[in-house]
Amino acid sequence: MEPVNFSQVIAQMDIEMQLRGWTTVQGREYLKKTYGKRSRTLLTEVELLDFLQYLESLPTPTLDQVLIAKINVEMQRLGWTTQQRQEYLKKTYGK
């Protein structure tokens, strides 16, 4: 059996979470609920691989869903309110 490259597993998890629009908070909540742990760094090898398998088993969202999720994450990072988003769209795109 080939040794597990944990950095590769974590990187793949990041991709899978982003693809499905999961935030860090959503990931943390899932880990707490499922494994009783707050962080991926606290997971055992078996739990890490199980979590990755779970993420990969989730339905792949449509392109629209992925884009909206990425926009929402970025708006959250910027700290924009719903009103600021609406004003930006009106000013920039007239919508």
What HEC string does 11-32 produce? HHHHHHHHHCCCCHHHHHHHHH
Q: What is the pLDDT of residues 40-83, one digit of tens each?
A: 989 999 999 999 999 999 988 888 887 887 788 788 888 999 89
Give the pLDDT confidence score for residue 3 in this predicted structure. 62
9 closest CA partner among 60, 45, 62? 45
The reported pLDDT for the residue numbered 4 is: 65
